Structure 1
């Protein structure tokens, strides 16, 4: 129930009027659960006495509309509690990595009143559920017993980059989001969201920091694997389905929802030279083709599904970009009133929570700006992303962001003191804080956390990663494969067509895929030999002894900024295979001897010009297990993906294209939507 739709009724009725005139409503809500707060009964209604005053207060009364309850609770909160509610904190993990330290939970929840925390735990489902319950127990013991909201970056996929995704240890495994785009079916994306929703909820996670509605218009950009590709309309449709799956329907939040935070508002993919906005050197966007509105359009599906949260981008718009006739201020979107209040809330009517990306109010020290000294592993100490506000104080950044429209701050020092000090100094009004805190609390009421924030840890393992969910994820991996070439399995050199664009198969000669039972001996690169043997093949050590070769390769990349926290972790730079690259050398070695099947992991749009002429079959993948891949090669499942972005023909074409425009590469080797099947 969005705030703007309920607030007028709240103002008109008032709490006293509702309680005096409202009828007694049957207590039919789900059972309550407490660990320390007493469960009492009044007028036949059971309630959790969260503030332990022995009476039913409006915020404890589950018969009341969520907006009324939120309004009542905000009135009871101190300034420090309100400021804390605007923190999205990062707790400290235990040594085992599957829980949080008691000291961290106490400091953040009880001491600093943090309203939400991000989970980067990667243990068993049961262990993570127990950690969530431990956090809620600490929250229940606070003065008002306000539950904490636990969030996560994506954790159902393959690629793991600290600070952007979570290692998948307990959930069903699906292709990257680009793989869902390759399938292109909104029903499947909604099903994925629904399955992931159940897995998140089973371990106590009630917010996902996804999906990315960013367009992958700059092929060198390292965040492409989390997008739905470069087409704004396809992205919008699939984002709408994603939100509806996670939020348990397309009409806002309910007790079965996982709050969905679409990101990164807006234009994040139009990065100068493809460098990422997490980095000081990558903070700038560019729109040479004037396609800013395409990047805005990609978010429309999220709004259509009543998305509950939006995360602004770190990145800074270029000089001269205008909105509503005025030049955009050159600050990160988390500080931009034009992008958050005028465009997001004003133009699109968004009334949910605006959550900043991580560390926008933190200082970026010398290591963050200039890179860590040689020999030191780049860490997160001294890391910040206050782009456009580097010269401001931490307190000034909080004021600027809240004035722009931010409701909650991700990873911004986990300290509410600057917000409290700003209010006391007259730089912010407490009434402005009340608006944000009401939005934050409203969602917790809608989720039912005030009735029962706990999960069944014993059941978590039966839900997360169960056989049915795992099978559906595996089928999606297979369906997302993009078959780009499938030629006859003739021995010896193959002859290309005169224009170099296709092979001339001989008459009545069968393409290599699906594999003929006669092809049994295989040479491998990047594939688990035991898995291949389990599929009935004989693995040989020399490609000259094989019937065919199977090579798994990754899209080429460079580590251009090894001394930076995120630059050291991200794939940047070139996209073409070159002599000396391990994967390319394996392709050449195999293709010189036998028909060769090559599958390339497309976390970015690889240039395959000198791979296509060597591969008998060429397959793009977006994350797939060896076992699932072998089933496709043997014809037990079929590839049906279509490219969600172009594959360029050369680095020269990449350098010539506009970073903000979809499918504008000159003479692409494979166009957007390319793909075969069998």
Structure 2
């Protein structure tokens, strides 16, 4: 449709039809089974006219079902405006990739785009038009269960990966390419900063901190073309996001120029009553529409109250028209007026979903996402000359998909024991099934007995998937106590223990530090068992690096690498009392941001800069020679960090400003270069000015945020 046609269409709509476009309900309301419809309809007070006008549908998939619903809907809708099908396709549709925190560990924009491309293709042929991804919330507290859905603690890296995902979902021609879906950036804003890591909790930070650290990732995704933005559950400066005019009217729309659709999170509009800023649903509707929320997900504050608010003059009808036009524009961008069924195709669905091509892609990404945290005495890869026992709850588990694997099925997963055997490596196991939280004494005894008879023990530990994700915050982020006891018992009879981990957050791993090797596999997805087996066997050389710090103790969190300096830094006087430190634990992470080992070894040459100064017209070139000093090919992720020594506002002690994945053959050397511009060192000053500080900067390069080259001092003019 042309824009003039959309304007004409809006002019033909009644007030009720306009309001209906702002309603999102689940597919249950369109079920053929009366019992599935009657209860929900009664609960929300909906009638058949409401169903005929509801602008979007949540959580229904399957080409046949979506085609049936859309066909019936188009017949009932007076103006034949198609409805939108949306869903949570977060790290895969049916073919599940690693959880986003694991995916981010690849530091590979192409891997992120691949995940989104495959996921969007499977979702589209199954009838979906919109996915609620990427999640770009900056995360610093591993107690929060939804860190598994985020990409880490650094705004630069988060933005790069989010932009790659947006392009993977949407491509270059969303209207013409029906294998793509529209992306929805979430959760706006600062959801990852919930106090005490407790889900849905308050967020309290300065405007400058919000703009400097938390907003850049969202903006990068929006600049990449994302069509939608989702509100967050939390408050920002005391105002729930879904009613926060400053966030959505001032920043998102006026400052950033976003003209797409804003959708609330599930029930978030009505929850403003519980927050205590709305007295009833009418107040909640008024706050949300004034803030600029276009679609209300799964509550009916708009449906019941917007008409009255407009007729009373409290809300101008123009405000409603603007929201409706944005929704119509999204439908037009997807080509729905010409093709209401879009990509939904049963034959393509059978061909595409869980295809071998997609499984292969998931396996490659899983391989890139597995982090080798420790490898003492080259315990890995496994040596075929050794006898190996595979023990622990993760040994036979198919619970490898993680939270938000909506359509994923465990029946598609090959467990670690079967994956090792499939790869031709025979491991010994017991007949007992280990439970993650409460293994039987019989299972423990059998494990200890076998451990004492073999050369090496691979102990597969971790969290069950329900322990991370939404509403899954934890105050104790150690492994479950039963697993700690299992590790101690096994290690007492065999010192050669290799720990593998399936989990959704950084953990306190102090209890298993005596292990010879530790492998962080996250929840690695459909092909994760095979990917981990290949890493353990050395068929895949690990290259992944953490994007979220692992603490020594939960008492350190929130813990992150890019901390602000203090007036009494610990580094100035490590033995002193009156410096910023703990009495009982290190200041530093057990495994810092950017950390990860390889079976190869790499030598970083002298870092060189093109000049001693740079300015807005003359960027700085930073280069070094990287050499693979081992006898096998490997990939190193080279990282560039910068420290602004004197700023108008206190600056972090270091910030990531660039990264490169470099693959080298055995003995090969290569020149690695970065460009640092004046724009790269801008930050939010007082008064929300985005500027740089003339003066001195330290430039550092290394394999992680801790082990960096000697700083090179440069000047910005």
Matched, 1:82 2:9: no
Counting only pairs closer than 5 Å after superposition, residues 444-455 of structure 1 correspond to structure 2 as 444-454=331-341, 455=344
2:662 paired residue number: none
Cα offset, 1:77, TM superposition: 0.9
Unaligned runs of 5+ in 2: 397-416, 431-449, 567-585, 600-717
Contact 2:379 2:516 in 1 (8 A): no
1:527 paired residue number: 395
| Equivalent position to 2:56, from 116, 137, 142 | 116
Residue-pair matches, total = 527
2:369 paired residue number: 480
Range that drifts further, 462-471 or 614-623: 614-623
**1:9-61 CA-partner distances (Å, limit 9, x unpaired):** xxxxxxxxxxxxxxxxxxxxxxxxxxxxxxxxxxxxxxxxxxxxxxxxxxxxx
| Equivalent position to 2:125, from 184, 202, 212 | 202
**1:543-587 CA-partner distances (Å, limit 9, x unpaired):** 112332222222599989xxxxx98x5132122347xx1222222
Contact 2:243 2:269 in 1 (8 A): no
Contact 1:483 1:619 in 2 (8 A): yes
Task: Give the whole-Å Cα distance in 2 for the aligned partners of 1:114 and 1:96.
Answer: 17
Contact 1:335 1:404 in 2 (8 A): yes
Matched, 1:303 2:222: yes
Task: Give the whole-Å Cα distance in 1 for the aligned partners of 2:167 and 2:522.
Answer: 26
2:171 paired residue number: 248
Change (3 A) 1:94 1:418: closer
Task: Give the whole-Å Cα distance in 1 for the aligned partners of 2:312 and 2:68.
Answer: 36
Task: Give the whole-Å Cα distance in 1 for the aligned partners of 2:351 and 2:479.
Answer: 43
| Equivalent position to 2:71, from 124, 130, 137 | 137
Range that drifts further, 593-602 or 349-358: 593-602
Contact 2:145 2:467 in 1 (8 A): no
Task: Give the whole-Å Cα distance in 2 for the aligned partners of 1:558 and 1:75.
Answer: 48
Contact 1:253 1:446 in 2 (8 A): yes
Task: Give the whole-Å Cα distance in 2 for the aligned partners of 1:399 and 1:660.
Answer: 39
| Equivalent position to 2:233, from 293, 314, 319 | 314
Matched, 1:395 2:282: yes
Change (3 A) 1:550 1:604: same
Counting only pairs closer than 5 Å after superposition, residues 479-518 of structure 1 correspond to structure 2 as 479-488=368-377, 511-518=378-385
1:178 paired residue number: 101
Higher relative contact order structure (alpha carbons within 8 Å, sequence separation ≥ 6): 1
**1:451-497 CA-partner distances (Å, limit 9, x unpaired):** 22222212212112211011101111111001011123xxxxxxxxx
1:668 paired residue number: 589
Change (3 A) 1:285 1:132: farther
Contact 1:540 1:546 in 2 (8 A): no
TM-score, length-scaled by structure 2 = 0.68
SS in 1 for 2:236: coil
| Equivalent position to 2:554, from 642, 651, 660 | 651
2:490 paired residue number: 590
2:299 paired residue number: 412
SS in 2 for 1:571: coil
SS in 2 for 1:400: helix
Task: Give the whole-Å Cα distance in 1 for the aligned partners of 2:60 and 2:272.
Answer: 20
TM-score, length-scaled by structure 1 = 0.72
Matched, 1:621 2:522: yes
Cα offset, 1:96, TM superposition: 12
Matched, 1:338 2:253: no
Cα offset, 1:317, TM superposition: 2.5
Task: Give the whole-Å Cα distance in 1 for the aligned partners of 2:553 and 2:507.
Answer: 9
Higher share in strand: 2
Matched, 1:270 2:193: yes
Unaligned runs of 5+ in 1: 1-63, 122-127, 158-167, 319-329, 363-383, 489-510, 561-565
Task: Give the whole-Å Cα distance in 2 for the aligned partners of 1:662 and 1:70.
Answer: 50
Cα offset, 1:238, TM superposition: 0.8
1:3 paired residue number: none
Contact 2:285 2:302 in 1 (8 A): no
Cα offset, 1:421, TM superposition: 2.2
**1:139-172 CA-partner distances (Å, limit 9, x unpaired):** 2112111111101113545xxxxxxxxxx6xx22
**1:107-130 CA-partner distances (Å, limit 9, x unpaired):** 577635110011165xxxxxx111
Contact 1:591 1:615 in 2 (8 A): no
SS in 2 for 1:294: helix
Task: Give the whole-Å Cα distance in 1 for the aligned partners of 2:67 and 2:588.
Answer: 55
SS in 2 for 1:538: coil
Change (3 A) 1:592 1:385: farther
Change (3 A) 1:187 1:386: farther
Change (3 A) 1:289 1:271: farther
Contact 1:289 1:660 in 2 (8 A): no
> How large is the Cα RMSD of the aligned pairs?
3.2
**1:72-118 CA-partner distances (Å, limit 9, x unpaired):** 21111111110010112123289999x98699899577635110011
| Equivalent position to 1:460, from 341, 344, 349 | 349
Matched, 1:356 2:275: no
| Equivalent position to 1:151, from 81, 86, 108 | 86
Contact 1:331 1:389 in 2 (8 A): no
Task: Give the whole-Å Cα distance in 1 for the aligned partners of 2:52 and 2:477.
Answer: 46
Cα offset, 1:533, TM superposition: 3.7
Cα offset, 1:523, TM superposition: 3.3
Matched, 1:570 2:570: no
Range that drifts further, 413-422 or 667-676: 413-422
